Amino acid sequence: GQQLNQSPQSMFIQEGEDVSMNCTSSSIFNTWLWYKQDPGEGPVLLIALYKAGELTSNGRLTAQFGITRKDSFLNISASIPSDVGIYFCAGRGTGNQFYFGTGTSLTVIP
Amino acid sequence: DVKVTQSSRYLVKRTGEKVFLECVQDMDHENMFWYRQDPGLGLRLIYFSYDVKMKEKGDIPEGYSVSREKKERFSLILESASTNQTSMYLCASQEGRNNEQFFGPGTRLTVL
């Protein structure tokens, strides 16, 4: 199955810093989702994007659906310790199956 | 809020045992999915179901089967567990075909 390229693989940042991560695909997608997963838990949906160019916010989180429809970006502003976790992107083309990135592990240093 | 529950958070089984992983969702969603999650490999789709008694193979169905006798319940079966099936198993639920998936808390299975 297809796998999305997600980068960076891991990030270590100071509390208060902004964070950016992205996902790219070789195929065009119609939907992009961003999830956060805490250790030992299932992924929790953060933001859903359905239209090329769309920019959506959820509190300090902002995600964008790339114009080419082959990429998406997630930004976290003013990071706090509870932002620690693994962030996953997921994309869906014309079929029903979602494909997932390998995750970005975020560590926030107080 | 959508709630997806999985029968066990942690499970330890022996090689050759038959293993049942249960998933229940409470939002009357048509679609349900089983994934496994391994370090460096992300989430890989094992099986999915669009309706009761319906099932379709995902990317890695070998060694697994599924059952969907009721709309709210989707079971993953390991007929004869092997050590390479040690993994985190995640169930997801989805309304319709164009919406986001909601995940359960996961079952961490260890096969000895």
Phi-psi sector, A53: left (phi>0), alpha (psi -120 to 50), beta = left
R_g of chain B computed on alpha carbons:
13
Which residues of B touch chain A, with CB atoms under 8 Å apart?
4, 9, 31, 40-45, 48, 50, 58-60, 90, 97-98, 100-106, 108
pLDDT mean across residues, chain A: 93
Can you give the pLDDT at residue B102? 92
What's the mean pLDDT when you consider all of chain B? 93
Query: In chain A, which residues have their Cβ closer than 8 Å to the Cβ of B90?
Result: 42-43
Q: What is the DSSP string of chain B?
A: ---EEES-SEEEE-TT--EEEEEEESS--SEEEEEEEETTTEEEEEEEESSTT--EE-S--TT-EEEEEETTEEEEEESS--GGG-EEEEEEEESSSSS-EEE---EEEEE-
**Chain B CB within 8 Å of residue A94 CB:** no
Model confidence over A67-108: pLDDT tens digits?
Answer: 999 999 999 999 999 999 999 999 998 877 889 998 999 999
Q: Residue B1: pLDDT above 90?
A: no
Show Cβ contacts of residue B45 under 8 Å, excluding neighbours closer than 6 positions. Answer: A1, A97, B33, B34, B35, B58, B59, B60
pLDDT at residue B41, rounded to an integer: 83
Task: Tell me the shortest Cα–Cα distance from B107 to chain A, in angstroms.
Answer: 9
The predicted model gives B54-67 an average pLDDT of: 95
Residue B2 has pLDDT above 90, yes or no: no
Query: First and final CA of chain B: distance in angstroms?
Result: 37
For residue B104, list chain A residues with Cβ-Cβ distance below 8 A.
Answer: 42
Confidence of residue A1 (pLDDT cuts 50, 70, 90): low
The 10s digit of each residue's pLDDT in B73-112 is 999 999 999 999 999 999 999 987 667 889 999 999 999 9
How many other C-beta atoms can be found within 10 angstroms of the C-beta atom of residue A75?
16
